[in-house]
Amino acid sequence: MPTYYDTEVASRLMLGTAQYPSPKILAQAFKRSGAGIATVSVRREAGGERAGQAFWDMIGDLGVHVLPNTAGCHSVREAVTTAQMARELFDTNWIKLEVIGHADTLQPDPFGLVEAARILTDDGFQVFPYCTEDLVLCERLVEAGCRVLMPWGAPIGTGLGLNNIYGLRSLRAHFPDLPLVIDAGLGLPSQAAHAMELGYDAVLLNTAVAKAGDPAAMAEGFARALEAGRLGLEADPMEPRDMAAPSTPVLGRAFI
C-alpha cells in the first residue's frame, strides 16, 4: 500500500468531500470504497467551533486520514495563507497544494506551484502538489521538497480519463520510487485500473463519484478497479505484439 511522508495508508483510493447529495451518501461512499484519505477544502469547511463543525465531526467519524487542500487559490500568497489556516484547523502538516493558473482548464500555474511548494516545505509542511505530467515541473517540485506528486489525468471534473499516456508513463519511469497519484479527470473505474497498470500508486476522485447516480456504488467500483489494475501490474503482464500467436499448441496435432 502507498506510503506518503512515512505514513502508510491502507487504500489506493483518495476521495474528495464536495458535491455529494447529502452527508449520509458521502459517508456511504467512504464506507463502501474503503478510501483511506479524504480531501477537504479549507474554503468550504471550517474546524473548531466554526460553521463547519458538523462536517468536521462527520469526517472524523470516517476514521480516515485528512488531506486539506488549497482549492480555488490563484496566487502563491493565497495558497500559502490557506495552507497555514488548514494546519491550524485540522492539526496536520499535510497539504494538497493547488495554485490555479488557467480559469477554463484549471491547469496549475507551474511557476507559482513551485514557489509555494518551496515556501511551505521550508515551513514544515508535507506537500502533495496538484500538477501536470510535465517532467521539468515535477523535477522542480521534488527539488523544492515534495515527496509526492499528483499529476492530473485530465482537467478537473471532465471525466476524460488519462489524456497523455506517454507523459504519464514517462513520469512513472523518471520517478520510480516516488509516490505518484493521479489527481483529477477520471470518470470511469476502467480509467483508474489503467492508472494502476501504468504503475501509479493511487488516484484521487471527487466529481466522478459525487455526481454519479449512485455515488456509493461508483466509489466501490473504483476501489475494485484499483485492486484489479494493481494485481494486473504485479502479475507481470505479457508484452503487446504485432502478430498473432496461437494460444492452443499445434504440436502433436494431425495435419491433412
**Which residues belong to the active site?**
96
Whether the Cβ atoms of residue 96 and residue 102 lie closer than 8 Å to each other: no
SS3 label, residue 204: strand
What DSSP character marks residue 95?
A: E
Which of 118, 121, 62, 74 lies closest to 93 in space, CA to CA? 121
Distance of CA 12 to the CA centre of its chain: 9
Q: Is 206 assigned a ligand-binding role in the annotation? A: yes
Q: Which three cell numbers stand for residue 120?
A: 511551505
DSSP 140-188: HHHHTT-S-BEE-SSSTT-----S-HHHHHHHHHHSTTS-BEEES---S
Q: Is 207 assigned a ligand-binding role in the annotation? A: yes
Q: Is 157 assigned a ligand-binding role in the annotation? A: yes
> Binding site residues, as ranges?
157, 184-185, 206-207
> Binding site residues for 1-deoxy-D-xylulose 5-phosphate, as ranges?
157, 184-185, 206-207
